[in-house]
Amino acid sequence: MSVAVASQYLKYNTKVARSRATSEPVWVRWTLIATVLVFLSLFLFIPLAAVFTEGLRKGFATYIAAIVEPDALSAIKLTLIAAAIALPLNLIFGLAAAWAIAKFEFKGKSMLITLIDLPFAVSPVIAGLIYVLIFGLQGWLGEWLSDYDIKVVFAIPGIVLATIFVTFPFIARELIPLMQAQGKEEEEAALVLGASGWQIFWRVTIPNVKWGLLYGVILTNARAMGEFGAVSVVSGHIRGLTNTMPLHVEILYNEYNYAAAFAVASLLAFLALITLALKSYVEWQAAKNAVRAEQEIE
């Protein structure tokens, strides 16, 4: 649910009272609810619970040991570095793309939006592959790079590039519909009152889209820290050097070190839960703001 949808949601949720003619008998209702809960348990709740119980199976001491071990710590560090580079770059891109697309009319706009969506349609494995084809030893720039002793693939730059690619559309995708819905009257008013371009951007546009922006940042961060397929292709799996947290989980798992694998995995699962909590909070705030704005108009 995007922020735009969330505000709709709150609006419509206020008219819940349904008459008997447009609702189902009690037994139908509870059968449907039970079916849904069983389905979600099989695919979501039980696997999620398994991550934590498997991680703690050999006791709390083993759990902690698996996380503070040097290879795990270096994987955590690399994951944080990759997210810390990918996030601001995609943030700047998202803001620039949304500004151009939402505030101006130009030919080829819908084509541009489709192209921004492309990374969503590309398999993560292929996302990794394309960078190997360019920067790998047999790749376009391979020889040139090796002459200068620059490593991209099987090194940190490759991991960062793959992370940028898979998280590329998230922020732009969130901001474009939001800024389109808001129009440009407020910015034009600011301009008439003598504000400079950057002043308009920082004082009018950003405050207006701050919840959507935050929402996009949260999603980007979650995906950046959790990406597996794309990073797996470009990383080369060098322990302690080019392993991110998800790759470290895979190595431990393939070594049958299940307790340690699930311990590190539980950190990522915990991160996912925080992401969901933040996301719900942002949706709730955005919906509240939308309702307040509507009341002010009325």
Partner 1 sequence: MAILKIKKRNNILPGFGLSLGFTLFYLSLIVLIPLSASFIKSAELSFPDFWAAVSSPRVVASYKLTFGASFVGALINAIFGLLTAWVLTRYTFPGKKIVDALVDLPFALPTAVAGIALTAVYAKNGWIGSLLEPLGINVAFTPLGVVVALTFIGLPFVVRTVQPALEDLEAETEEAAASLGANRWQTFHKIILPAIWPALLTGFALAFARAIGEYGSVIFIAGNMPMVSEITPLIIITKLEQYDYAGATAVAVVMLVISFQLLLIINALQWWMSNRLTTSK
Positions in 129-148 near partner 1 (CB under 8 A): 129-134, 136, 138-140
- Please check whether residue 238 is in contact with residue 248, taking contact to mean a CB–CB distance below 8 angstroms: no
Cα angle, residue 95 at apex, residues 94 and 98 outer, rounded to 5°? 80
Contact yes or no for 94/216 (Cβ under 8 A): yes
Sequence-ordered alpha helix ranges (H) in 168-228? 170-182, 185-192, 197-200, 206-226
Choose, by CB under 8 A, the member of 269, 282, 287, 290 that binds partner 1.
Answer: 269
Tokens at 274, concatenated: 């925080």
Nearer to partner 1, 63 or 168 (CB): 168
First vs last C-alpha separation in the chain: 26
Nearer of residues 60 and 270 to partner 1, judged by Cβ? 270
* Integer CA distances (angstroms), 218 to 142, 143, 171, 221, 277, in order: 35, 38, 9, 5, 10
What part of residues 63-122 is at the interface with partner 1 (CB under 8 A)? 89, 92-93, 95-97, 99-101, 103-108, 112, 114-122
What burial class does residue 168 get, using C-beta atoms within 10 Å of its C-beta: 0-12 exposed, 13-18 middle, 19+ buried? Answer: buried
Smallest gap from residue 136 Cβ to partner 1 (A): 8
Q: Please state the closest distance from residue 155 (CB atom) to partner 1, in A.
A: 16
- Position 48 contacts partner 1 (CB under 8 A): yes
> To the nearest whole angstrom, how small is the minimum distance from the Cβ of residue 293 to partner 1?
19
- With contacts defined by CB under 8 A, how many residues of the chain interact with partner 1? 113
**Rounded distance, CA 228 to CA 273, Å?**
18
**Site map (CB under 8 A) of partner 1, residues 169-208, x = contact:** ---------------x--xx--x-----x--xx-------
Judged by CB under 8 A, the residue of 18, 68, 256, 296 near partner 1 is: 18
List the one residue from 66, 91, 159, 161 that touches partner 1 (CB under 8 A).
161
CB of 215 vs partner 1, minimal distance in Å: 12
Measured at the CA of 161, the angle between CA 156 and CA 164, to 5 degrees, comes to 125
Residue closer to partner 1 (CB basis): 60 or 196: 196
Task: Find the binding residues for partner 1 in span 205-264 (CB under 8 A).
Answer: 219, 222-223, 225-229, 232-233, 245-247, 249-250, 253, 258, 261-262
- Using CB under 8 A as the binding rule, whether residue 35 contacts partner 1 is answered as yes
Question: Which one, 2 or 289, has the nearer CB to partner 1?
Answer: 2
Per the CB < 8 A criterion, the answer to whether 234 and 159 are in contact is yes
